[in-house]
Amino acid sequence: MNGRAAAGASEIPGVARLERSPFQGRALRSLVLTGGVWLAALIAGVPLVSVLYLLIVRGGSRLSLEALTALPPAGFEMGGGFGNAIAGTVVMVGIAGLISVPLGVVAAVFLAELSPLSRLSRAARFAAKTLTGLPSVLAGVFAYAVVVLTTGSYSAPAGGLALAVLMIPIVVLTAEEAIRAVPRITRDAAYGMGCTRTQVACKVLLPTALPGILTGVMLAVARAAGETAPLLFTALFSSYWLFDGGHPHLMQPTASLAVLIYNFSGMPFENQIELAWAASLVLVSMVLVINVVSRLIGRPRT
């Protein structure tokens, strides 16, 4: 302490000044940069907030029980809604989840635990990373070639497959990360108890990594729910219910919120345009809720 005081005294004769001096060079620079950072953060938030604002103002007014449950109107018809599109989106995202979650999680176990350094897993990891950047139209073209051309019709499974192609890489990469994050000592404990590799994966790694895996699944679901392009070639659109008279009609064109918004927003009818706004609000709310839920699940707990 004495040393420091002496050193200070040698630089500044007399008493050291401790008051703020806001017009000194470094203080001024700090002020400007802090302001810049605040501004950048605000600007980054503008798109989401403005989109939400517009959706609530323009879509909220049209939101009603009828809009949520009725079938889409045709032409000059008034009223109507997008109930079948909500159902179609849920069913197709569900199909996509049924395909991508088991496949993705099992692949992640292979990448993270069974053979992390092998040539196969390097190739698979590279493929998954590349797939995350795949234009979603191409996923639609792929599902069109695989399902639509072979079955001869646009259908919910075709849409589901297209969405699954987009979800798989997200599930694989986040699940691998979550499994890798299980501490080495926890694996040691499991092997030390006499677990086989399958038991280590099923009884210890997957339960421990579950919050992280669920977060990844939810993010993938949120991404898939908002996709339009892959559904244009695969599920197309429909003005009818997916379930009619108690039977599902899976192998026929299926409505979805995203395609409904795409179709209706370009129509010259005020009623359809209003419905497109309301459907957008519903879709964004669904994605938002899924994101929030994934954050709640993924929260670290003790």
Report the interface residues with another protein, using CB under 8 A.
183, 185-196, 199, 203-204, 207-208, 302
Cβ of residue 80: shortest distance to another protein, in angstroms?
Answer: 50
Nearer of residues 4 and 299 to another protein, judged by Cβ:
299
Cβ of residue 1: shortest distance to another protein, in angstroms?
Answer: 33
Nearer of residues 204 and 219 to another protein, judged by Cβ:
204
What is the DSSP track for the chain? Answer: -HHHHHHHHHHSSSSPP-S--TTSHHHHHHHHHHHHHHHHHHHHHHHHHHHHHHIIIIIHTT--HHHHHSPPP-TT------HHHHHHHHHHHHHHHHHHHHHHHHHHHIIIII-TTSHHHHHHHHHHHHHHTS-HHHHHHHHIIIIIHHHSS--HHHHHHHHHHHHHHHHHHHHHHHHHTS-HHHHHHHHHTT--HHHIIIIIIHHHHHHHHHHHHHHHHHHHHT--HHHHTTT---SS-SEETTEE-TTS----HHHHHHHHHTSS-HHHHHHHHHHHHHHHHHHHHHHHHHHHHHS---
Cβ of residue 187: shortest distance to another protein, in angstroms?
Answer: 8
Nearer of residues 81 and 212 to another protein, judged by Cβ:
212
Nearer of residues 20 and 301 to another protein, judged by Cβ:
301
Cβ of residue 189: shortest distance to another protein, in angstroms?
Answer: 4
Cβ of residue 190: shortest distance to another protein, in angstroms?
Answer: 7
Nearer of residues 207 and 248 to another protein, judged by Cβ:
207
